Amino acid sequence: MIDRHGYRGYIGSRAYFGQRAPQHVQNLVIRDYCQRNGFTYLLSATEYAMEDCFMILEDVINEALKLEGVVFYTLNMLPRDKARRYEICSAFLDAGCTIHGAVENACAKSLEEYENLENLWSVRRLSEQADTIIQQLAATPEFLS
Amino acid sequence: MGKITSFLQPEDQAANAAMLQRGHVIQAVENRDGLDAIRDLAAHAAARHLGVSPPNDPERFLNGIGEHVDATTLNDLRISVINALRSEDWFRPTYFSLAREALFKIVGNEIAMQRGVGLSVQLPNDDSSLLPVHADTWDGDSPYEVVVWVPLVDCFRTKAMYLLTPDKQTAHLKTMASNNSAETFFKSIEDDVEYISIDYGNVLIFRLDLPHGNRVNTETEARWSMNCRFKSVLTPFADKQLGEFFEPIIIRPATKVGMTYELPGGFGGAGQ
């Protein structure tokens, strides 16, 4: 029997989909999410600022067997690459560690439930592309006349 | 004073050499009574949180805090103590006074200070609240900042923090991306880090662009330390911005005049 305790917060200093929040605000959101769900909140791990770097998240994966769950400030912090995203999430779930997004108020306890998070991601990505298309249209008046 | 050949005084040159070559400075606090007041308040707040009598020997009580809390209750205690400290209006000015003159030499004399001073408590053999290897510049701080790190107990060996020495920084950062995790990166620099021994009564000022962190405290006593970032007001900010993270605490009169100055206007009108 593995002795698991608590939910590890995960915050960062990069902008995610163009949005950033101060770290103390990220922690407040995670703490509130944990309180509302009756989770024991463990001090957040703070990802390095370098783009596409997930070295701190890898450390959290390495302690996943001791955790009940990991709470991302937002699921948008997951890698943009789908395969890498799946690799990270399945590593947590295989270790019996649930995955949570505090901003999205969403969680996955199994690979089946992870599909729901992946759908959220896909829609988010799609909306980003739609924004780009709208901006291109707006910059091309002949399409709007 | 007569003729001199350098703009820098010897103490300025010493500060330059220490920060650029060693990456840190350790000196006696500049306000010992202030430090004692901070430590005593921390110990009394901890005792109040635990429901025990105020300690006669604060340092011994703080060192032995592991007799009262474990890893699961430590964070509540830490938050209770830091809230007690932050609620005192003398706390931040007093914290600044511990290293005021040193900061003037290292960052300048117009200063922004982190709004919320941090507190770390590390129980013996507790691996649940470790800070992995990091440079604060990787966490949203700008490289123009320094950390003023104040121990509330004597810190040594694994009870202390470690810092990568500046002469080894460039080589290790070149290969950093080849590591899978922060832990594997630490293993790659482990032989080149220095554990900073520092006794109570002293202050450590270090460069936050240098990788640092802590390991499991294998000593028999708990570590208590505070940390706060300072920078020159007019140097660039990174993700941790003025207002939300930093507050200007000293702005000199010439800067105040300059910030509000406007050239006379009204030229180019009909009468010209």
pLDDT over 70 for what percent of chain B? 99
In angstroms, the CA B155 to CA B251 distance is 34
Which domain covers residue A88, as residue numbers? 7-143
Q: Please report the pLDDT score of residue A2 as a whole number.
A: 61
Q: Tell me if residue B39 falls in helix, strand or coil.
A: helix
Domain with residue A139: its CATH number is: 3.40.50.1390
Q: Does A5 touch chain B (CB under 8 A)?
A: yes
Taking the CA of residue B39 and the nearest CA in chain A, the distance in Å comes to: 23
**For helices B166-174 and B182-189, angle between their N-to-C axes, nearest 10 degrees:** 130
Taking the CA of residue A1 and the nearest CA in chain B, the distance in Å comes to: 19
Backbone angles phi, psi at A103, to 5 degrees: -65, -40
Backbone angles phi, psi at A47, to 5 degrees: -65, 150
Total tally of structural domains belonging to chain A: 1
In the predicted structure, residue A132 carries a pLDDT above the cut 70: yes
In a domain, residue A2? The reply is: no
Q: Are strands A98-101 and B24-28 parallel, antiparallel or unpaired?
A: unpaired
- B104, B232 in Cβ contact below 8 A? no
In the predicted structure, residue A144 carries a pLDDT above the cut 80: no
Domain with residue B56: its CATH number is: 2.60.120.620
Nearest CB to B140; choose among A13, A55, A62? A13
- Across the interface, do A56 and B137 touch by the CB < 8 Å criterion? no
Which domain covers residue B228, as residue numbers? 11-249
In a domain, residue B255? The reply is: no
In a domain, residue B272? The reply is: no
- B194, B146 in Cβ contact below 8 A? no
Q: Tell me if residue B237 falls in helix, strand or coil.
A: coil
Q: Quick: pLDDT tens for B67-84.
A: 999 988 998 999 999 999
In a domain, residue B6? The reply is: no
Q: Please report the pLDDT score of residue B272 as a whole number.
A: 56
* Chain A from 11 to 50: CB within 8 A of any B CB: 13, 20, 22-24, 40-43, 45-46, 48-50
Nearest CB to B128; choose among A13, A42, A61? A42
In a domain, residue B73? The reply is: yes
Total tally of structural domains belonging to chain B: 1
- B20, B166 in Cβ contact below 8 A? yes
Q: Tell me if residue B47 falls in helix, strand or coil.
A: helix
Q: Please report the pLDDT score of residue A4 as a whole number.
A: 83
Q: Quick: pLDDT tens for B21-44.
A: 999 999 999 999 999 999 999 999
- B97, B104 in Cβ contact below 8 A? no
Taking the CA of residue A55 and the nearest CA in chain B, the distance in Å comes to: 4
